[in-house]
Amino acid sequence: AVERTLSIIKPDAVGDNHIGAIIARFEDAGLKIAALKMIQLTQKQAEGFYAEHKERPFFASLVEFMVSGPVCVQVLEGENAIALNRELMGATNPDDAAPGTIRADFATAVSANAVHGSDSPEAAKREVAYFFSAEEVHSR
Ligand code: CMP
């Protein structure tokens, strides 16, 4: 089925000038960019986005990292977009990420892993709505 998923290019990859290369991975795989913006997350926005992780030992450092510089947030649309995006990203820890994946090529650590992608249809719905109004997402 055609799905939408939320993708974030994190501050490490934005700072390292990899926005274009990462977007190209999505487009080359057939995913459409349905929405796109660059933002500086506030502490509250980052905490709210990662609320499900708030009891984890790495929560504070995760939030600190996510507000350390601008991020590029996009909605990817296409057949099987949620799983396809996760395949393109590779494993959360770049040490475990398959060769040729975004995290293998652009991430340096589990805490600075270049990209985020929704992990389920429920998460995708919540995460897309967290950053974009309905009018900002374009079916294409
Ligand atoms: P993401 O897919 O954005 O969702 C939660 C994030 O927490 C994850 O990517 C990692 O970047 C981060 N994370 C997961 N495990 C750890 C860890 N052990 N230490 C620091 N950050 C982590």
So what's the pLDDT on residue 105?
A: 98
So what's the pLDDT on residue 139?
A: 92
**CB neighbours of residue 58 within 10 Å:** 12
Mean pLDDT for back-to-back runs of 10 residues, the chain (140 residues)? 98 98 98 98 98 98 98 98 98 98 98 98 98 96
How far, in Å, from the CA of 62 to the mean position of ligand 1? 7
CB 115 within 8 A of CB 13: yes
- Which of 63, 92, 93, 102 to probe ligand 1 with, by most ligand atoms within 8 A of CB? 92
Contact partners, residue 40, CB within 8 Å, separation at least 6 = 67, 69, 70, 71
Residue closest by Cα to atom 3 of ligand 1: 116
Kindly tell me the number of DSSP H helices and DSSP E strands found in the chain: 7, 4
How far, in Å, from the CA of 51 to the mean position of ligand 1? 13
So what's the pLDDT on residue 122?
A: 98
On whether 140 is known to bind a ligand per the annotation, the reply is no
How far, in Å, from the CA of 56 to the mean position of ligand 1? 10
So what's the pLDDT on residue 140?
A: 82
* pTM exceeding the 0.90 threshold for the entire prediction: yes
